[in-house]
Amino acid sequence: MTDENNPLIPPMNARQTGAAESKDGFDRWWILVAIVAAIILLLVFMKPDPYQRMILFVRDGVMVTLTVTVSSFLLVMVLGLFAALGRLSKNPVISTLASVYVEVVRGVPLLVQIFAWYFAFPSIVQGIGDKFHIPAFQDYLANPVGMAILGLTFCYGAYMSEIYRAGIQSISRGQMEAARSLGMTHFQAMRYIIIPQAVRVILPPVGNEFVSILKDSSLVSAVAVADITRRGREFISTNFIPLEGWMLVALLYLLMTLFASRIVTWIERKTRITR
């Protein structure tokens, strides 16, 4: 099917391709990324105390933040797809379970869910261990990073499922009918025809979800995860510099979110189908 005959591919114009993109394809928002990076470097070199000391202090927190964010995002992509397919299933039991998961999870604040995974989930596991006399369960202790990843995954999986569902439902029914007429099973049609097209449609909101997970990962500092926020708070509390400390933490998050947004925009531009 050619692009001209495909109703799923809307005509593109200069406004749709992004007002910040110049005629040569350069994304001018990269300039903002460079400005934020330059501000951080300027602070570090002009005032080594406290900014350079703080950068060295929180650098392990940067790696923890990126680990939690990327791990959660990859799991969210998988969980969201299964939840979306569950909601679209013709099996009423599967559809109901998936719908309950989405509605319940979206109605509970993320911080509460993280607390539940870190404090309540280990108690449940230990209770099962006591009841059935399983030593491994009785001695179970929650891993802060693992529980943080589970909390973010479980919460954002519900939101991602709605994005997947909207993308799948945006594909014309004729695509499925054509695939089935060629002898494909429903699973094969979804795998090779529907989902690849849906992924292209949902790429912008998926990118936004990654940025949201990156920002909301700061909440995991409440359950003993040594991310940027927690390490920054530790440095600030021992050096009594709230203004400089939180400003640097904010700049680090801003730099990472801006960089992630530009990467998503670049991927979207590379995968875009133009007419």
pLDDT tens, position by position, 225-261: 999 999 999 999 999 999 999 999 999 999 999 999 9
Measured CA distances, 36 to 33, 253, 269 (Å): 5, 10, 24
For 17, the 3-state DSSP assignment is coil
Residue 116 resides in a domain: yes
pLDDT in tens, 145-183: 999 999 999 999 999 999 999 999 988 888 888 888 888
What pLDDT shows up at residue 138? Answer: 86
Q: Which residue range(s) make up the domain with 213? A: 64-224
pLDDT at 271 over 90: no
Total tally of structural domains belonging to the chain:
1
| DSSP letter, residue 21 | B
Residue 28 resides in a domain: no
> What CATH number does the domain containing 97 carry?
1.10.3720.10
Residue 3 resides in a domain: no
pLDDT interval class at 23 (50, 70, 90): low
Residue 218 resides in a domain: yes
pLDDT at 100 over 60: yes
- Nearest C-alpha neighbor of 199 from the set 1, 8, 4, 2: 8
Residue 68 resides in a domain: yes
pLDDT at 272 over 80: no
Residue 262 resides in a domain: no
What pLDDT shows up at residue 21? Answer: 60
Residue 127 resides in a domain: yes
